[in-house]
Amino acid sequence: DQQVKQNSPSLSVQEGRISILNCDYTNSMFDYFLWYKKYPAEGPTFLISISSIKDKNEDGRFTVFLNKSAKHLSLHIVPSQPGDSAVYFCAASEGTYKYIFGTGTRLKVLA
Amino acid sequence: EAQVTQNPRYLITVTGKKLTVTCSQNMNHEYMSWYRQDPGLGLRQIYYSMNVEVTDKGDVPEGYKVSRKEKRNFPLILESPSPNQTSLYFCASTSPVNYEQYFGPGTRLTVT
């Protein structure tokens, strides 16, 4: 049973537009959520995180929204750039250092 | 420069031949993890370590061993590899400040 789900395997967006990547979770005990970006032949790199006590966190072009009642988080990238084309993983942890990752969404930003 | 290194980057081996994938970090982090990435399954945690001599199982520990004798190193050991352990493996080190994980470049393992 997957506790963290990314239901869209892929997403294409025009350059300059907004990219919205979604993630759903089932475990209400998760208290920290993170987004990672992964390019081919490289390890994932950290993008942005949010604590369960917040509903929004912003860092430059990246904003993460957390809706605890819906057990849903989303990553907004505005404006999208061709260099943002990568696989994006959301991850959740439950007060420990044990992380559960989603299966990833491949974002393609079209020039 | 903050770094996690893994060796080897690529490895092809045969069933049953013991192997070790090394992992080292230079950030003095206490917490380190091993993951495997498989198509359609994302990243799954194999083992993690909270500090020297303290390790615990992740979601998919079967067939793997780890050790943590010093803070900077966290090797992954496959005592008797099998073809279902063919995968892309990542080591990660976690910052205690914001839970950010720093990942190594990955080790692609093929077991025939």
Q: What is the pLDDT of residues A19-77, one digit of tens each?
A: 999 999 999 999 999 999 999 989 999 999 999 999 999 999 999 999 999 999 999 99
CB < 8 Å to A44, chain B: 43, 90, 101, 103
pLDDT at B101 over 80: yes
pLDDT at B98 over 80: no
| Burial (Cβ within 10 Å: 0-12, 13-18, ≥19) of residue B87 | buried
Q: Is the dihedral of CA B4, B68, B28, B46 positive or negative?
A: positive
How far is Cα A36 from Cα A44, in angstroms, rounded to an integer? Answer: 6
CB < 8 Å to B43, chain A: 44, 89, 91, 101
Q: What is the pLDDT of residues A66-108, one digit of tens each?
A: 999 999 999 999 999 999 999 999 999 987 678 899 999 999 9
A2-20 mean pLDDT: 95
- Neighbour order of strands in the sheet with B19-25: B4-7, B19-25, B76-78, B65-66
Chain B residue with minimum CA distance to A94: B99
Q: How many residues does chain A have?
A: 111
User: Across A2-104, where does the E strand assignment appear?
Assistant: 4-5, 10-14, 19-25, 32-38, 45-51, 56-59, 62-67, 72-77, 86-93, 99-101
For residue A83, the SS3 value is helix
CB < 8 Å to A37, chain B: none
How far is Cα B109 from Cα B86, in angstroms, rounded to an integer? Answer: 5
Counting one residue from A and one from B, how many pairs have CB atoms under 8 Å apart? 58
CB atoms within 10 A of CB A102: 25
